Amino acid sequence: MNIPRSVWLVRHGQTDWNLTGKYQSYADRPLTAFGQRQARALASYFAGRKVDAVIHSGLSRTESVARAIVGARRLPCLSNEDWREGSHGVWEGLTYAEVMQRYPEDASNRFADALNHAPMEGESLADVAERVMAAWRRLGYAHPRQRVVVVTHATPIQVVLCMLTGVPLRDHWRWRIDLGSVTAIDCYPGATILRAVNVVPR
């Protein structure tokens, strides 16, 4: 059975839109100065660990962290858009208050059933889960018995955790995934073990 040996799911560092509370998914926002410090802390965290490959979601905020982790090591640094955050559609770049003002009916439907209702022109939680779990399954075929870092976003990490633990996807928000955090998973043919969840290196 093709499975990776270990997978670290890393959430990117802070961006300006994280700082100002704006919905952020496919917009390519760079790291703030604090986000860059978080990237350096993550690089230090992985400096003494064996890593075979680093994957990022193809946006600058994840690529910056991925390249910091790779550092001077000769490791593959790969892009995979399936690890991107769920698309917020027309909500992108707006605050919660702005969404409630401009799209009250859309927001009401979304918050009542995030699993099946997508923001206008965006993705539902079920949509995100389908592509993220496909990406998760492909890790084993692409990186059998390897140690892989995936630099991604909060919702994809929450989706994987729900899948591994049997938590309903509707309750994905119960997993706290901070900016600049690491979630570590050991993979075996018959099971996976959560070694750490939401560890934030300093």
Question: Which is nearest to 8 in space by CA: 161, 148, 193?
Answer: 148
Tens digit of pLDDT at every position of the chain (202 positions): 678 899 999 999 999 999 999 999 999 999 999 999 999 999 999 999 999 999 999 999 999 999 999 999 999 999 999 999 999 999 999 999 999 999 999 999 999 999 999 999 999 999 999 999 999 999 999 999 999 999 999 999 999 999 999 999 999 999 999 999 999 999 998 899 999 999 999 9
Say what the pLDDT of residue 1 is. Answer: 60
Tell me how far apart the alpha carbons of residues 69 and 39 are, in angstroms, rounded to a whole number: 8
- Looking at residue 194, its amino acid is L
What is the chain's alpha carbon radius of gyration, rounded to the nearest angstrom?
17
Tell me how far apart the alpha carbons of residues 154 and 9 are, in angstroms, rounded to a whole number: 10
- Which homologous superfamily is 6-88+124-199 in? Phosphoglycerate mutase-like (3.40.50.1240)
Structure tokens at 54: 């680093």
Tell me how far apart the alpha carbons of residues 21 and 23 are, in angstroms, rounded to a whole number: 7
Say what the pLDDT of residue 3 is. Answer: 86
Domain ranges of the chain: 6-88+124-199
Instruction: Give start and end residues of each alpha helix (H) in 21-153.
Output: 33-47, 60-70, 96-102, 104-112, 125-142
